[in-house]
Each structure stands twice: as C-alpha cells, then as structure tokens.
Amino acid sequence: MMEKDILVLGIESSCDETAASVVKNGRVVLSNTIYSQIDLHTLYGGVVPEIASRKHIEKINRVIKKSLEEAGVSLNDIDAIAVTYGPGLVGALLVGVSAAKAVSFASGIPLVGVHHIEGHISANYIENPDLKPPFMCLVASGGHSHLVLVKDYGEYEIIARTRDDAAGEAFDKVARAIGLGYPGGPKIDKISREGNPDAIAFPRGKVEGSEYDFSFSGLKSAVLNYLNGCRMKGEEFSQADVAASFQKAVVEVLVEHSLKAAKDYGVKTFAIAGGVASNSHLREAFEAECAKRGFNFVHPSPIFCTDNAAMIGAAGYYEFIKGYRSTLDLNAVPNLQIGEKVGVFKENDGQFK
C-alpha cells in the first residue's frame, strides 16, 4: 500500500523575505512564494529591522494564501505548519511565528518550529532526491558561516564557525566600500567576471588554534586598506579587479577548510547552503575540487540558497515525522543555536494533551 503523502506549509520571515511554501514529503516543492523587501532596504544600504517587521505584517497573509493557491491545495490538505522561529531579527521572526500560530489554532493543524540554518541545510534535500545523511554542509549566509556535520535527519554537529564576520557580511561590506551598493553578494559575483582574480594578493584568513574555523575581518580590512592606499596616491582602482581578488580569497578559504573537514570526518558527500552558496564562482570551485578529491557534491538551486520557505518546509517535514511539535507558546528566539530546541517538543513528552 502507498503511504499517505505528507504536505507541510512552510513559513519564513526571519530577515527581509516574507515567504511561504507547500512541500510534499520533505522533497517536492508544490509552491515557493517569496516576497522580497530588498528594493526597500537598498535605499538604506542594509536591512532596517523595524521596516522589515512592518512589511512582513503587510505581506504575510497574502503570501501564505498565494502559496496554497499555487500548490493547488487548501488548508484541509496540509498536515503540518513549519515556521522559522530563530535565529533572526526578533520583530521579523515574530510576524511569521504569530501567523503560523494563528493558522494552526484556527485550523487545528499541528505546528512545528524550525531553525533557520537547519532550513538552509535542508534545502539540499529538495533537488537531490538521493541525498541522505551523513554529509558535511557549508552554510554561508549574511549572518552565518558554519561547517555542519549532518549526522542524521535533524541531527547536527558544528565543526567550524566564523570568529568574526560571516562570509555574506564580508561580501556586503566590501561591495559597499567599492561602491557597488547593497546587496553586495550578487553584485560582486557579477562584476568579478570582468575582473582579474589575481590582480591583488589579499590575505587568506587563518585562525589560531583551529584548522577549520573561518575569519573574514582581516580580509575586509585588507580591502579597505588597499582602497585607502589608492585614494591617498590619487590612483583609480578597478572595481572588477578588487571584487574578483576579494572573492577569490573568500572562495579559496571556504573550499579549503570545508574539504579538509570533509576528509578528516570521513564523509563522502559535501553540500553547500545559504545565500553565499548561490555565488557562481564558489559553486564552480566546489564542483571542481570535489570532483578532484572524490567527494559527491550537491547544492540547491540559487532560489533555494537565499531565504525561502521551501527549505523550512523540508526541514519541518523531518522534524514532524520524528514527532516534534510546538504549542501556541512557541516564541521567536533571535539567537537560537543549531541543534537547540526551545518550545519544540516530542509529542509524547507531556507537553501535549
């Protein structure tokens, strides 16, 4: 007998994307609705938390409705509601969490809180139907740079983290410094195609006492110093050369640390996730190095790398089938750690009647 399909409604509002998605069995995306506020925040050169929260409130109901319509389903077909409850901006998170609780309360559909980064990692399940843990995943986004060993579905061990800036943060700051504007990642990615990645020898960040941890603040300072030097000498600098040289330094460090950890921990498959994982140079570098070193390389499409709710639906599915549930007490947890659960319980541990 065929097992019944499980449909999860995912909801995401941790930063500047209001998103909802319907995902079947943790792998098949029936809809992926994203309202991006990026144009609004571009005016200010970065995400303004108060504006983000207000926009989420305006959009969330319509985004949820549209995701159900596009999937061709109604709430009656949904088995669980998965919502990002951390980490992220507290006011932004609260909008998604409140909407998810309201829908759950009104419909009686079970609720489960999902960790944003665990969502990013789970984006890899969507287009790689054969992907199963264990695997190693590099998560590089605007707020996080982690190497995570995925031991099993929903079981994570952090192998490395950044000691200072996240990779995406470095992209955004350098882009601003060379006059490309916000958001920096995609702009550096594009303009680098016209630049020489060996034009300027920027440092590769090393961290004392750890061979896997990342550090990007030294690289960022080196770029700022280079720009200052040019200004003082009255010389023009090439945006494309600075972008390409900076990007090469970031990509090299991410690839080297990641694949060293993958080898040392004995995994066969390597995955990437988060906004920076949509960087075309990073993807090419991992593709080439994984092939050379004998790792199976998987990655989400760019649309599932940057913030979306399909990844929350995918992660939520595996939490749901393990029996994890949240009550209406679920709250936003802005600094939630990977693997930590706050207000997410097993169904039979006494929290549910």
Phi, psi of 19 (to 5 degrees): -140, 145
**What is the nearest approach in angstroms of ligand KG4 to the Cβ of residue 277?**
8
Q: Does 275 bind ligand KG4 (CB under 6 A)?
A: yes
* Alpha-carbon gap, residue 241 to 185, rounded angstroms: 15
Partner in contact with 245, chosen from Zn ion, ligand KG4, none, beta carbon below 5 to 8 Å by kind: none
Give the pairing of strands 345-346 and 28-36: unpaired
Q: Does 113 bind ligand KG4 (CB under 6 A)?
A: no
- Which residues, listed in sequence order, are joined to residue 137 by a DSSP beta bridge? 148, 271
**What is the nearest approach in angstroms of Zn ion to the Cβ of residue 307?**
4
Nearer to Zn ion, 191 or 276 (CB): 276
Partner in contact with 186, chosen from ligand KG4, Zn ion, none, beta carbon below 5 to 8 Å by kind: ligand KG4
- From 36-44, 63-71, 276-284, 319-327, span contacting ligand KG4 (CB under 6 A): 276-284
- From 37-45, 138-146, 264-272, 310-318, span contacting ligand KG4 (CB under 6 A): 138-146
Nearest to 136 by CA among 120, 119, 157: 157
**What is the nearest approach in angstroms of ligand KG4 to the Cβ of residue 53?**
16
Give the one residue of 104, 145, 192, 279 binding ligand KG4; rule: CB under 6 A: 279
Nearer to ligand KG4, 75 or 224 (CB): 224
Residue with tokens 């789970």: 122
Residue 111: count of CB within 10 angstroms of its CB: 25
* Alpha-carbon gap, residue 41 to 32, rounded angstroms: 22
Q: Is 112 in a helix, a strand, or coil?
A: strand
Letters for 311-340 (x = contact with ligand KG4 by CB under 6 A, - = none) are ------------------------------
- Which residues, listed in sequence order, are joined to residue 111 by a DSSP beta bridge? 81, 326
Contacts of 159 (CB under 8 A, 6+ apart): 136, 147, 148, 149, 212, 261, 265
Could you tell me if 333 and 139 are in contact, meaning their C-beta atoms sit under 8 angstroms apart? no
* Alpha-carbon gap, residue 261 to 236, rounded angstroms: 40
Could you tell me if 47 and 16 are in contact, meaning their C-beta atoms sit under 8 angstroms apart? yes
Nearer to ligand KG4, 104 or 306 (CB): 306
Give the one residue of 307, 310, 320, 336 binding ligand KG4; rule: CB under 6 A: 307
Give the one residue of 96, 168, 313, 316 binding ligand KG4; rule: CB under 6 A: 168
Q: How many CA atoms lie within 13 A of 251 on its CB side?
A: 24
What one-letter code names the amino acid at 137? C
Nearer to ligand KG4, 34 or 344 (CB): 34
Q: Does 178 bind ligand KG4 (CB under 6 A)?
A: no
Letters for 183-222 (x = contact with ligand KG4 by CB under 6 A, - = none) are xxxx--x---------------------------------
Nearer to Zn ion, 110 or 142 (CB): 142
* Alpha-carbon gap, residue 258 to 281, rounded angstroms: 15
Phi, psi of 341 (to 5 degrees): -130, 125
**What is the nearest approach in angstroms of ligand KG4 to the Cβ of residue 220?**
13
- Which residues, listed in sequence order, are joined to residue 83 by a DSSP beta bridge? 11, 113
Nearer to Zn ion, 267 or 333 (CB): 333
Interface residues with ligand KG4 (CB under 6 A)? 15, 141-143, 168, 171-172, 183-186, 189, 274-276, 278-279, 306-307
